[in-house]
Structure 1
């Protein structure tokens, strides 16, 4: 039995029935209409001031014609609108990039802030659980800023007190669908503030041609392809180790050959040596003349080559001890990049247990001690499970191409990478759309970056061999 008692009458109630529920209904005070109106006017004025401060140019462009019309008449107002618009059109035609940077993207951000995000902010926040509706009042995260560029919207949000980044990362899919975007990525701006990235289109949907061979000799960073925002992506190979994981046909060869292509001038100058381990005898064997004697395909030859690399590392460590803490490539001590295609074939699927232990021990030694003396390892594999690649955590920089399962993303890039937007399991299996596309997580940053490596064709490799054969002495 339920009884509703107003005010303090509940104090006088005495019940002997154990299952009797007493519901206390507090007295309701009516707020005077004047106060309600003042509160609404105050909120309107506050919102208007915030809009003017956040978008001074846009608000001026909207208000100025009306003011001129009132004071000077409609002919002057029409002229005041026509002349600037004509100048803007000429600017947009003559200097499209500068116009977009200074005017176009700002206007788009102003429009999308009002029409897309501000309009749907309250229902999306409440339904996703990131906002709260308590006693008739909404407690919502604050939409601070919206910026746009050629491919995405970036929203700066001030979280509610007590919220964590994981609360937003767990609801990334809900946010994306709530605002009509294909995906949502969450990044930390500073304490209490996040940046939500909502892509509007995919700049990496088309394959990229091979990057031109550099004119100058350099050990990197090596230009690999293009980032999602349209900027050039350069991969650091000197002073680190790189692990590339992806399913069959995901484009691992594009990353390997783009790296080799970018290091060819340095190989010719004697500043770089590439030692290639190709147990499949398919990928790297196509450019075998580039590696000279530092090529191995048979598992025993691969183990011998890795042992030789360990000896070079230990010899350099003995000479560098007490003299230098970092490696500077020279012709006497060149940077050595050990490239292993399908490393799992050597570390997990090798039938010879003794040979498997030799290879695993050599790779572990190189990845723990090699980079300070100028020896790096770039390894590619299909299956990122721990039992397949026991030393995957020894690679500071990791790249996840198309993967079969969502759990594999965190196996490769680390815990929480998929929640931050690294949807490697959603990359298209169609080669024209997804080959070479991957998410990069560097040692220096927890946020994954979406990149597409350029495709190095068979003709490109033949041209590389014809021009640079014999540089890997």
Structure 2
């Protein structure tokens, strides 16, 4: 006769009879005590097994002193506790990296899993809209695990059925503030699972000096700076093209000069040639001795130099056709890196239409045909709009330094890059804090990587030029 209603449904009932209140009396089912005890015991046993399975080391650390105290007295238990405290402290003092890798970060991950993420998981999911509260029941994404590194927490989440990555990417700010982090980034672990990265500190806050000139002669990936996880940032210049975009003072020169610095041994060995286009006459002029005759500053000279690079590329293509598909640097056919400091001045803001067409055609030819024959382009610009740089998609590797607008991030790194955490428009404009900080999206990976380029001073550039001249 009566239909049972959840609490939320009962609150929405309205009486049509004046002065009559709606009375909700839930049905009561008397449960035998033995059934309640069995359910309670089963839940206790299942929770204990789950605890031992998920945290065997922590469980053993707690259980061992208790067992020794029961079998051999309280002194044995106290001695085991002292050993448990003393030995890790000694280990931490003697060899900190191994202690952190095997024990330290795992203990921190366990603590943050309990105190930060699981404690706030339900309200953050509901308020941010990633969870649902329907008919008195919460439907939440599942918090699977937390892994700590030296600078961030990596949280693995199982999404609700029907959710997409974009649902999480649109709520990065809510997630970051909900769990007390500076920012949040999302990446796909596998189907239905995500990795949420919450930084605990900023390892790139302090500028780094110029990377030492390598001893090895190589045109392979050169070290530009440091990645956020502390590993070296290696930039591939041979066999690809690189576009560097950033506002004034963002640190484009640090990327350019760090790349040239990494190639310096190969330049001295005759395996690499640097061709420089410097329409501003400021940045690349410091190392003019590095470039020799392959330096251009005026628009007309820049057009001639680019067309000369096209001639070299086409000559190699004619000789390599039918014999080899990839370029190997030799003194006869060195790798040619064409560096353009401010490409927008030559392609968009050039008043001479004839020079503008010549430069645009040469750059388009180099970026479409130069990779296989050992001619690469490293271009820098401030404004990444399509009407300013209409061939930006021809650059496989892109670097986004500090940008003025959020829309420019996707212009440089591709659609969805900012939703995945590439907040290039939030990089600090203070030189000590933000110069050289960038987000990189490589050809082989859709996820942006936060990096910082080393600062190459004027004295370093002059020393490089003198070394090559000598």
Q: Do the two structures share a fold, i.e. TM-score over 0.5?
A: yes
Question: 1:53: how far off?
Answer: 2.2
Q: Is the 8 Å Cα contact of residues 289 and 466 (structure 2) preserved in structure 1?
A: no
Match of residue 398 from structure 2: 398
Structure 1 residues 37 and 181 mapped into 2: Cα distance closer, same or farther (>3 Å)? farther
TM alignment of 1:172-191, pairs within 5 A: 172-191=172-191
Match of residue 414 from structure 2: 414
Unaligned runs of 5+ in 1: 9-19
2: CA distance, partners of 1:36 / 1:304: 88
2: CA distance, partners of 1:446 / 1:109: 27
* 1:300 matches 2:300: yes
TM alignment of 1:216-255, pairs within 5 A: 216-255=216-255
Residue deviations 1:338-397, cap 9 Å, x none?
A: 110010000000001111111111111111111011111110000111111111111011
Q: TM-score, normalised on structure 1?
A: 0.92
Match of residue 78 from structure 1: 78
Structure 1 residues 419 and 318 mapped into 2: Cα distance closer, same or farther (>3 Å)? same
1: CA distance, partners of 2:298 / 2:191: 53
Residue deviations 1:111-149, cap 9 Å, x none?
A: 111111111111111111111222222221111111111
1: CA distance, partners of 2:295 / 2:173: 46
Question: 1:319: how far off?
Answer: 1.2
RMSD over aligned CA atoms reads 2.1
2: CA distance, partners of 1:44 / 1:416: 46
Q: Is the 8 Å Cα contact of residues 7 and 26 (structure 1) preserved in structure 2?
A: no
Structure 1 residues 250 and 75 mapped into 2: Cα distance closer, same or farther (>3 Å)? same
Q: Is the 8 Å Cα contact of residues 153 and 197 (structure 1) preserved in structure 2?
A: yes
Match of residue 341 from structure 2: 341
Between 343-352 and 41-50, the greater mean CA deviation after superposition: 41-50
2: CA distance, partners of 1:54 / 1:197: 22
Match of residue 13 from structure 1: none
1: CA distance, partners of 2:90 / 2:68: 24
* 1:56 matches 2:56: yes
Structure 1 residues 43 and 434 mapped into 2: Cα distance closer, same or farther (>3 Å)? farther
Question: 1:73: how far off?
Answer: 2.4
Match of residue 448 from structure 2: 448
2: CA distance, partners of 1:36 / 1:233: 59
Match of residue 67 from structure 1: 67
Residue deviations 1:75-123, cap 9 Å, x none?
A: 1111111123211111100101111111111110111111111111111
Q: How many residues align?
A: 452
2: CA distance, partners of 1:138 / 1:252: 49
Q: Is the 8 Å Cα contact of residues 211 and 224 (structure 2) preserved in structure 1?
A: yes
Structure 1 residues 245 and 27 mapped into 2: Cα distance closer, same or farther (>3 Å)? same
1: CA distance, partners of 2:36 / 2:324: 72
SS at match of 1:372: coil
2: CA distance, partners of 1:148 / 1:387: 44
2: CA distance, partners of 1:307 / 1:420: 39
Question: 1:179: how far off?
Answer: 0.4
Question: 1:65: how far off?
Answer: 2.3
TM alignment of 1:89-168, pairs within 5 A: 89-168=89-168
* 1:262 matches 2:259: no
